[in-house]
Amino acid sequence: MSQIAEIATGGQIVRRAGLLSLSRRLTWRHGALAIIALVVVYLTLVPLGMILYGTLTDGPPGTGASFTLQNYVRAYGSPDIFRAAFNSVSFAVLSGIISFIIGCYLAWVTERTNTPFKGVIYIAVLVPFLVPGILTTISWVFLLSPNIGLINKVAESLFGLDKPPFNIYSFAGMVWTFGIDHITLPFLLMAAAFRSMDPTLEEAASISSMGPLRQFYQINLKIMFPSILATCLLLFVRGIETFEAPAVIGIPAGIPVFATEIFLALRRAPTDYNLAGTYSTAYLLITVIGVLLYLRVTRVAEKFATITGKAYRPRVIDLGTWRYGVLCLTMLVLFIGVFLPLAIVLWASFMPFYAQPSWHMLSMATFANYVAVFELDEFYRAFWNNLVTGVSAATIAVLLSVGIAWIVIRTDIPGRKMLDIIAFTPIALPGVVLSLALLWLYLTVPLPVYGTLWILIIAFVTKFIPISLRVVHASMLQVHKELEEAAELSSSSWLRNLFSIVVPLILPGLLVGWLYILTLTFKVLSIPILLSHVGTEVLPVLIFSLYQSGGITELCAMGVILTIFIAVVAGLTRLISARFAIKAGE
Amino acid sequence: MISVQGLAKTYAGGNVRAIDGVDFQVETGKIFTLLGPSGCGKTTSLRSVAGLEQPDAGEINLFGETVFSSTRGISLHPSKRKIGMVFQSYAIWPHMTVLQNIAYPLKGKGLSRAQIESKAREALRMVDLEGFEDRPAPKLSGGQQQRVALARAIASDPRIFLFDEPLSNLDAKLREEMRGHIRALQRKLGITSLYVTHDQVEALSISDFIAVMEKGKIVEVGAPRDIYLHPTSRFAAQFVGLTNIMPAKLRHGDAGDTVRVDLPFTSLLCQGLTTKAHSKGDSLMVLLRPENVRVSSSSFNCETNEWRGRVISSIFLGEFIDCTIACGDFQVRARVNPFHQFEDGAEVYLHIAPERFSLLTA
Ligand SMILES: Nc1ncnc2c1ncn2[C@@H]1O[C@H](COP(=O)(O)OP(=O)(O)O)[C@@H](O)[C@H]1O
Ligand SMILES: [Mg+2]
């Protein structure tokens, strides 16, 4: 007995056993896994490599250009890039502060106070999630433009001003538009943080002799700090990669940020791919730093036991009569931030031409814009393109995520953590950079992808894999390993077991991820704006080009239709996740 | 027959030795239990037999067929080993009905739908769950889920059964009932079984043979009776049941099956035991189960094996009184009939029949 034991631990046998486990690993199941891993690497790393390659060459994609550092000299030698960097960062920081303050305030109101009508507040804050960013941005132009802005007009007549008080075409206008449109994300994250704070900690502090301010600082702020930081960093990353406000407001106002500089470099004639690529490197550097910090902070946040896992019923603060004051302030915020932008779009969608709301104009309200939209071939084409690319991308992303999550959770294959990280990298890829990278790749590689819907599908899959991966990962963690092993005992077909045991069990999670990605493809502009061509437009692109060509009222009707569609899909998602008690990860 | 030789497995890049040279054999039709504290490697051994874990070294034979061998590079897929397994978590598929759960392993084996269904129903009948066929699995109680798991393991006519702490999630009453159920079913079907538990009562009541494990190694194998009454290792003696362990020295040389040993506070006559110690003065350990200690407030008037002691504590536990009695520097635990009553500090007499000891070479 002891002899065998000795042999068993002897180096030689162990080495042979290593070989054996390797050979067992090389079943075709691992072939399938290897393909998934390769696809993920191909989707994420190859375009990045392509862009880097491009910045080091002296010709557009696909030409046999030679290596040069000239692009870097050109880009970094001009003050433009530093101006863009400064604008991008300050835009992201300032708009993030606005979003955070408002979102956090609303979360506090609904989670920690006895303010009435919490349900209404809660639903109202979720609404901006449903409206495509391009539409809200345009609606703020309707509200704050110096010529036609509703708020300006009202303020002028109310206070007898001879000059419009606000100008949307300014840095402040850009910051405000993006900030107010992104209150939902900090609201949800901070509400979760409030909810997961153990009320006994506060009670312990009140029993001790801490003053209320000191208590707030010592307990609430310190405990919530990681969540606050994570939320702010996420807002920063969102802000820095956004395209809508910089394009609609920043370009006419002459405020360059990275996203628009790259866009313009590609729209200018002659197209300057190399310069755009070089800008992308600086752009990427900033987003990567933001994402890395975010990941660090969330890891720290997970270590804070008080902030994860258990949900508590937070202690509700009795505001007394103050609660009506808080209610008024909250309603005012929601009226300006959520209701007004939607209302002005809805109003305009019924107008024969763009005009301020008035009783007189109301009598001229018409369905003509809606009729026109439904008679527009481009609308059907864009909707169809959007549906095809959205459905395909969501399906592919979710299936790939199943494979990745399975590898990460269930196997001990070396490098699986790396795969997880690689699949997560697109979170740091701004839409325009990803698009540029894909353009470069498919203008170089002779595959029939450029100019087709495929390039859009590939872009969507790449960009949204991190989202589906998180949802799928969380669901798969819930599936006990033994459930799968019980199946493995009876059938050697890995795929059969996967699809009859694991997939049905995580189906609600898959569906939520799938639907969420589908809605995103109907909202995001930064990705298709560079990749869509005549015939392959999707709805946000169509809205943007209608805006540029002045089809304002029609655009509004189209926006309303699109928002209703997204709301229906989102409602479905919520139903499913409520039914199966899943939280769609942000 | 299950034969396991030299099984070894490390985790965390070789830093954790989960099992370290495990050998055992299970005879056909018998139920063999791996018993040991949590983390000693029971599950790893069981899962290696199932093929769910890939050992670093060793060989596993099932009925003469090598299903795993590190030296010969053999590793059969779990489904090829013809195993029925009951998991600790039951692993009942929650998205299926009871019947679907049992039928799943039967599919893809060339059976017709009718055959699958009749086999599944037959398995359900064996675990007394007729009428539950169409119940969604999550709508079952813990005990019922356990039975479904059992039926699922039976249904595909396995060569061997594997059980990984199948009763640990049940409450005490149900555990006892299921224990009997598993035992009866195993007897009836005569299926060679490997059972894992950390619960000594469960192991003693269910097994034909028990292997006591410690830190990735088997320290002792034997029938339940032998393991309990005559453990050959200190670890087994302490882990299985409660034992007083007292250091002693052999008074005479080789004295056949009756020996006299010296304890610090008294001397003892031990009968019917053989020890490996043969010469005068050899160090021994005397093992004494608390239930074999007789306690009385008056002398037993026995010449041998009677001591005096002082009660330190006595805890009334219903079935018995758990007494701790100081004898010299030593503390003896004793189980006393609940009708007795001893004050703390009271002087008592202890008596142990000469044949109710075990001896271990120290
Ligand atoms: N997947 C694993 N990774 C790392 N260590 C493990 C793993 N599985 C088991 N171990 C370790 O191996 C040892 C034996 O585990 P196990 O066989 O589960 O013990 P038991 O079933 O007896 O409680 C323990 O120390 C455990 O922590
Ligand atoms: Mg175990």
Delimit the domains of chain A by residue range. 84-257+318-366, 369-417+446-586
Phi-psi region of A330 (alpha: psi -120 to 50; beta: other; left: phi over 0): alpha
**Residue A209: what pLDDT?**
65
Digits of tens for pLDDT over chain B (362 positions)?
A: 999 999 999 987 788 899 999 999 999 999 999 999 999 999 999 999 999 998 999 999 999 999 999 999 888 989 889 999 999 888 899 889 999 999 998 887 888 999 999 999 999 999 988 889 898 888 888 889 989 999 999 998 899 999 999 998 888 888 888 899 899 999 999 999 999 999 999 999 999 999 999 999 999 999 999 999 888 888 998 899 888 988 888 887 655 677 788 887 788 888 766 666 567 777 888 888 999 988 888 887 777 888 888 899 989 998 899 999 988 888 889 999 888 888 888 888 888 888 888 888 77
Distance between CA atoms of residues A392 and A396, nearest Å:
6
In angstroms, the first-to-last Cα distance of chain A is: 56
Determine whether the interchain pair A9/B20 forms a contact, defined as Cβ–Cβ distance below 8 Å.
Answer: yes
Count of other CB atoms within 10 angstroms of residue A118? 15
Nearest to B78 by CA among B102, B116, B46, B51: B51
Count of other CB atoms within 10 angstroms of residue A561? 18
Digits of tens for pLDDT over chain A (586 positions)?
A: 333 333 333 333 333 333 444 444 456 667 777 888 899 989 988 988 888 888 888 877 777 678 888 888 888 888 888 999 999 999 999 999 999 999 999 998 998 888 888 889 988 999 998 999 999 999 999 999 988 888 988 888 888 888 888 999 999 999 999 999 999 999 988 888 887 776 666 666 666 666 666 766 666 777 778 888 889 999 999 999 999 999 999 999 999 999 999 999 888 878 888 888 888 988 999 999 988 888 888 776 655 544 344 556 667 777 778 888 899 999 999 999 999 999 999 999 999 888 888 888 888 888 999 999 999 899 999 999 999 999 999 999 999 999 999 888 888 777 888 888 888 889 889 999 999 999 888 888 888 888 889 999 999 999 999 999 988 988 888 888 899 999 988 887 888 888 889 888 888 888 888 999 999 999 999 999 999 988 899 999 999 999 999 888 999 999 999 999 999 998 888 888 777 654 433 3
The alpha carbon of residue B138 is apart from the nearest alpha carbon of chain A, in Å, by 12
Tell me the C-alpha to C-alpha distance, in Å, between residue A461 and each of A42, A318, A431, A527, B219.
12, 47, 12, 11, 56
Q: Is B259 in the pocket of ligand 1 (CB under 6 A)?
A: no
Secondary structure class of B41 (helix, strand, coil): coil
For chain A, the residues whose C-beta falls within 8 A of a C-beta of chain B are 1-2, 4-9, 13-14, 16-21, 23-24, 480, 482-483, 485-493, 496, 500-501, 504-505
Secondary structure class of B284 (helix, strand, coil): strand
Residues of chain A contacting residue B107, judged by C-beta atoms under 8 Å apart = 491
Long-range contacts of A433-436 (CB under 8 A, 24+ apart): A433/A51, A433/A262, A433/A280, A433/A283, A433/A284, A434/A47, A434/A459, A434/A462, A434/A463, A434/A527, A435/A459, A435/A526, A435/A527, A435/A529, A435/A530, A435/A531, A436/A51, A436/A262, A436/A266, A436/A273, A436/A276, A436/A277, A436/A280, A436/A530
Of B7, B9, B16, B87, best ligand 1 pocket probe by most atoms within 8 Å of the beta carbon: B16
Q: Which residues contact B255 (CB under 8 A, 6 or more apart)?
A: none
Measured in degrees and rounded to the nearest 5, phi and psi for residue A62 equal: 90, -15
**Residue A112: what pLDDT?**
84
**Residue A111: what pLDDT?**
86
Q: Is B15 in the pocket of ligand 1 (CB under 6 A)?
A: no
Q: Is the ipTM of this complex over 0.90?
A: no
Looking at the domain A84-257+318-366, which fold is it? MetI-like fold (1.10.3720)
Distance between CA atoms of residues A152 and A81, nearest Å:
34
Give me ligand 1 centre to Cα B86, in Å: 18
Long-range contacts of B46-50 (CB under 8 A, 24+ apart): B46/B162, B46/B164, B46/B194, B46/B196, B47/B164, B48/B4, B48/B7, B48/B9, B48/B19, B49/B2, B49/B4, B49/B83, B49/B160, B49/B162, B49/B194, B50/A485, B50/A489, B50/B78, B50/B81, B50/B83, B50/B85, B50/B162
Give me ligand 2 centre to Cα B44, in Å: 7
Distance between CA atoms of residues A215 and A292, nearest Å:
31
**Residue B270: what pLDDT?**
81
Helix (H) or strand (E) holding B60: strand B57-62
Ordered DSSP codes for A70-120? HHHHHHHHSHHHHHHHHHHHHHHHHHHHHHHHHHHHHHHHHHHB--S-HHH
Residues of chain B contacting residue A486, judged by C-beta atoms under 8 Å apart = 85, 87, 91, 93, 152
Judge if A84-257+318-366 and A369-417+446-586 fold alike in CATH terms. Answer: yes
**Residue A305: what pLDDT?**
40
Q: Is B43 in the pocket of ligand 1 (CB under 6 A)?
A: yes
* pTM: predicted TM-score of the whole model, two decimal places: 0.82
Please state whether beta strands B160-164 and B192-197 pair in parallel, antiparallel, or not at all (unpaired): parallel
Distance between CA atoms of residues B20 and A105, nearest Å:
59
Which class is domain A369-417+446-586?
A: mainly alpha
Q: Is B16 in the pocket of ligand 1 (CB under 6 A)?
A: yes
Measured in degrees and rounded to the nearest 5, phi and psi for residue B165 equal: 40, 55
Q: Name all domains of chain B by residue range, CATH numbers in brackets.
A: 2-238 (3.40.50.300), 243-361 (2.40.50.100)
Secondary structure class of B5 (helix, strand, coil): strand
Residue B89 at interface with chain A, using a CB cutoff of 8 Å: yes
Determine whether the interchain pair B83/A23 forms a contact, defined as Cβ–Cβ distance below 8 Å.
Answer: no
Distance between CA atoms of residues B268 and B252, nearest Å:
12
